[in-house]
Amino acid sequence: MKRKLISAIGIAGMVVSIAACGGEGGSGGSDKGADAKELTVWLTVDAQNNWPELVKAADAAVKKKHPGLKINHEYYGWPDKNAKLDAVLATDKVPDVVEMGNTEMLGYMVKGAFAPLDPAEFDTSDAWLDGLKASVTYDGKTYGVPYYAGGRVANWRGDVAASVGVKTPPKTYKELTAALDKIQKKQGGKFSAWYQPTRDWYAAMSFVYDAGGAIATESGGQWKASLSSPESLKGLKEFKNVVDDYMHGDKTKDESDRYIVYGQGKSAMIFAAAWEGATAEDPKNDKSGKLKGNLENFVMPGPSGKNMPVFLGGSDLAVPVKSDAQALAAEWINAFTGSSGQKGLMAKGNLPNNKTDLATLKNDPKTAVPATAAESNWFVPMAPGWGQVEKAQILQTMLQSIGTGKKSVEAAAKEADAAIDKVINTK
């Protein structure tokens, strides 16, 4: 599921009340509310629908240590979750545990909405996946616990590849482009050998990071955009090559309906969230009737010669700074996201929050591809003004200008850097 980063502006109204409340847990962790009699946990409907038994197991583990404790659960859909959270955080009656999309964490951490936590209190924190660890870290402190992850993989139609003599997924970028060239030549100009939406900044920035570039870099506490660096430009130019050579659809589109377009049977490959291939071949989306049984996931090779670094999505759990049961909240989070919880989440098809468990998935053919792909990952700049960057869709605008040929790569990147620099250090 695509989760959009909330703007820091969206929670500005609650800052005064949060600051007035205080409730900090020192440099990490808190004994506040260790003897609380009630705990309120907010999760999304993913947990309610897909792994309710894991929620019950966490409840049981905590109640065993705290007889008589009452645990309340509320479940929310992703579209309306943050509006409800913002409203309640401005009051004195807040939940004790909240689930956040990992790209949603930053704006709340910047505004002081969450209590600092001690990573040592949580299982496998020393092995948290880099991208997830970054999502819960701000100004040297930890404000959340990674819950589970979702990565990106390449997916192509094995039948279309076989039609040009390619019988196994490529291991290198050179092998990939050679196969795509053959597919494009055979299928013609109305077919997309690689359906790559131009505004898909998750994919484009993977090219940037693969080339050694970055969206922005930090020095001395200040962030500066770096899309115009030689390394970033190299990655952006290769992304443009992909769009020019293999993407023959609407070059002003984003990735929101990619799996639907893929299901129309006019493209041979996507680089997408791991669930998108399976969703495209669902009978209600497979309009061509040719995807079922013919789709293959594989680890996306990068032009650098290494696996392409992928954006690592997922969820985190945080404790609002106003919670009166911070210590119990931390206990519940560890019971839910700890060793047994991770095994349960993996059994449901999720990637774990840590490298140790991730390594075990590489030995199973069913999970080897997403697990291997997730090892190389990147995350957004953890800068105070990043929410404003994303709200303004600066990256999407740049990519559309590049993909449509409206501007050169250099000119579009320079313009994007200037726009990012205006807001990236603003709280």
Indicate if 152-310+392-423 has the same CATH topology as 8-150+313-378: yes
What are the residue boundaries of the structural domains of the chain, listed by start? 8-150+313-378, 152-310+392-423
| C-alpha dist (Å) from residue 201 to 135, 206, 275, 391 | 18, 8, 18, 13
The DSSP H or E segment spanning 223 is strand 222-225
4-21: average pLDDT: 36
CB 128 within 8 A of CB 146: yes
Eight-state DSSP code of residue 222: E
pLDDT tens column, 44-83: 999 999 999 999 999 999 999 999 999 999 999 988 899 9
**Which parts of 108-184 are beta strand (E)?**
137-138, 141-142, 145-150, 152-157
At 25 the pLDDT is 38
Closest CA to 196 of 150, 279, 261: 261
Inform me whether the pLDDT recorded for 11 exceeds 60.
no
Inform me whether the pLDDT recorded for 378 exceeds 90.
yes
Binned at pLDDT 50, 70 and 90, residue 33 comes out as low
What does the radius of gyration of the chain's CA atoms come to, in whole angstroms?
22
Binned at pLDDT 50, 70 and 90, residue 225 comes out as very high
At 16 the pLDDT is 32
15-19, 142-146, 172-176, 333-337: lowest mean pLDDT where?
Answer: 15-19
Q: Which residues contact residue 345 at a Cβ distance below 8 angstroms, ignoring those fewer than 6 apart?
A: 51, 54, 147, 148, 352
| C-alpha dist (Å) from residue 44 to 79, 80, 102, 272 | 10, 10, 13, 23
276-293: average pLDDT: 94
Assigned token pair, 358: 């991730």
Binned at pLDDT 50, 70 and 90, residue 30 comes out as low
| C-alpha dist (Å) from residue 161 to 168, 358, 422 | 8, 30, 46
CA 144 – CA 321 distance, rounded (Å): 11
* CA-CA-CA-CA torsion sign (82, 83, 89, 92): negative
Q: Return the higher-pLDDT residue of 150 and 180.
A: 180
343: left (phi over 0), alpha (psi -120 to 50) or beta: alpha
Average model confidence (pLDDT) across the chain:
91
Binned at pLDDT 50, 70 and 90, residue 319 comes out as very high
Token match 């309710």: residue? 52
Other CB atoms closer than 10 Å to residue 348's CB: what's the count?
Answer: 13
DSSP H helices, 66-157, are 78-89, 105-110, 130-135
Provide the terminal-to-terminal Cα distance of the chain, rounded to the nearest Å. Answer: 27
Binned at pLDDT 50, 70 and 90, residue 364 comes out as confident
112: left (phi over 0), alpha (psi -120 to 50) or beta: left
pLDDT tens column, 412-424: 999 999 999 999 9
34-38, 219-223, 280-284, 303-307: lowest mean pLDDT where?
Answer: 34-38
At 427 the pLDDT is 86
CA 311 – CA 296 distance, rounded (Å): 20
At 244 the pLDDT is 98
At 118 the pLDDT is 97
pLDDT tens column, 104-153: 999 999 999 999 999 999 999 999 999 999 999 999 999 999 999 988 99
Phi, psi angle pair for 387, to nearest 5° = -60, -35
Assigned token pair, 329: 């909240």
Q: Assign domain 152-310+392-423 one CATH number from 3.40.190.10, 3.20.20.70, 3.20.20.60, 3.40.710.10.
A: 3.40.190.10
398-409: average pLDDT: 98
At 84 the pLDDT is 95
CATH code for residues 8-150+313-378? 3.40.190.10
Inform me whether the pLDDT recorded for 1 exceeds 90.
no
Binned at pLDDT 50, 70 and 90, residue 21 comes out as very low
